[in-house]
Structure 1
């Protein structure tokens, strides 16, 4: 994510920072120095701050030992760099919640580990897909469209949709690499929904490692897919029911990386299914 993105994100959430009494000028200077030293002219071009105001902000930051200067260049001190790391993360997190608040309020987040909640700002470049009265299947259709155009799919699911099983069966036949983490109940439902041809194809591709399945024993409260090009996240409501009307979607590299870490976290807690497991369904 480049500095211009962060500066634009800050414009979205700067009122929140003003509420906390943090100087907008100083924040913009620190963010602008995040990727390396810059001259006053560079800072002015990046931030759009008038020269006199900019110099006042620089002096304040120098007094606090957050930035230093060498010749014509200003740069973050060690303390300034660490502070800016946290600042950038906070801006990204605020932007995420500003744009996708409906997904997070009154929804269960227990299946997201704390280390990834601390990096939730990596999802800041996401869109909230919401079903409307005139389009009740918008999120469902969006999900199917994304996975149908993917080359690699990793999915965690405690919910069952026949459409998803049919789509995955078709994609596996087309040599798309698929990894699934399913609860025991959903695993059984998925296998029972397959016709004999698809079941045999699942077993064949499982033996060739084109399909990998894990069973997770715990009661997970997240429906989640990460592909080679996108990340899709759905949550359960606080009452324990999956909310099919809202999904978070992103094609940003930060979100995809975050998604792969979430998948790996749950994979470590799951048991890999062997081909022999399918024999009971023959």
Structure 2
């Protein structure tokens, strides 16, 4: 609570800065141009198609507020202006993701996502929600299954439950030389291992392409990752896993975001000895 209260210590100054930046779409367009490189007014006019009078008026306001400096008819953003603008873009992307998947976040438990993950939720920009429908009630699972089966090099996953398809899927992945790191809740780890071909497991352990850990406590998140995708499932408010909705992304930023979540949980898992 103290940490959150400190966030409001400079509220008036922050409000003033945000209001100055967001109250003018023209200023945002000009700053976005100058993020790429320093430009003259003529170059900004060509890039944005804004009138010279609009550019001149807003450039002077940006100069007066310490965002820009002028050298040889070109305008440069200073470092703090770049940092403010980039964080504003992140904030905008965060709100987009929260609003786009509003029902998903509202109806599910999100506390298993680390605080840093929630603070960087903009990393899911470009994700899409896979939902069951009357003609394909298994669409989320089938989508997830296809993503896994097409993985070529590395797979990481956190599973709070054991689906009957999982042993067969991971047997095939191991046979194809895919590196696998898994994290199960304690109660189902043994069942998963016993359901797999023991020779395939043994070979994966020898080659160090198969690593599995067990969590003592339950975890309310299903997370799967490869070099090419992220798939995120959550529990509903009634403590049952929602098999009807799945967030999927193919962006590098989302995969990095998911990897951080995975590693944070994985290091707390217990190593298994065979």
Does TM, normalized by the shorter one, top 0.5? yes
In 2, distance between residues paired with 1:103 and 1:47? 37
Q: Do 1:31 and 1:88's aligned partners in 2 also have CA atoms closer than 8 Å?
A: no
Query: Is the contact made by 1:181 and 1:270 (CA closer than 8 Å) also made in structure 2?
Result: yes
Cα distance in 1, alignment partners of residues 192 and 139 from structure 2: 23
Unaligned 5+ segments in structure 2 are 1-17
Residue 226 of structure 1 corresponds to which residue in structure 2?
Answer: 225
CA distance in 2: counterparts of 1:41 and 1:144, whole angstroms: 53
Q: What is the CA–CA distance in structure 2 between the aligned matches of 1:21 and 1:158, rounded to whole Å?
A: 42
1:43-122 paired onto structure 2 within 5 Å:
43-122=44-123
- For residue 118 of structure 1, report the CA deviation from its aligned partner: 1.5
TM-score, structure 1 as length reference = 0.83
Q: CA deviation at 1:128?
A: 1.2
TM-score, length of structure 2 as denominator length: 0.85
> Which shows bigger deviation, 220-229 or 32-41?
32-41
| Distance in structure 1 (CA, Å) of the matches to 2:80 and 2:94 | 21
Matched with 2:160 is 158
**1:246 is matched with which residue?**
245
* Separation of aligned partners in 2, 1:45 and 1:172: 55
RMSD of Structure 2 on Structure 1 (CA): 2.1
The aligned runs of 1:155-234 (5 Å cut-off) are 155-194=157-196, 198-234=197-233
Q: Give the ranges of 4+ consecutive aligned residues of structure 1 lying more than 6 Å apart after TM superposition.
A: none
Q: CA deviation at 1:46?
A: 4.5
Measured in 2, the distance between the counterparts of 1:249 and 1:187 equals 25
Please give the alpha-carbon distance, in whole angstroms, between the structure 2 residues aligned to 1:180 and 1:199: 16
The structure-2 alpha-carbon separation of the partners of 1:166 and 1:83, relative to structure 1 and needing over 3 Å to count, comes to: same
**Alignment match, 1:12:** none
Specify the SS of the correspondent of 1:38. Answer: coil
Per-residue deviation at 1:41?
A: 4.0
Aligned to 1:145: 146
Tell me how far apart the structure 1 counterparts of residues 46 and 100 of structure 2 sit (CA, whole Å).
Answer: 27
For residues 48 and 257 of structure 2, what CA distance do their matches in structure 1 show?
29
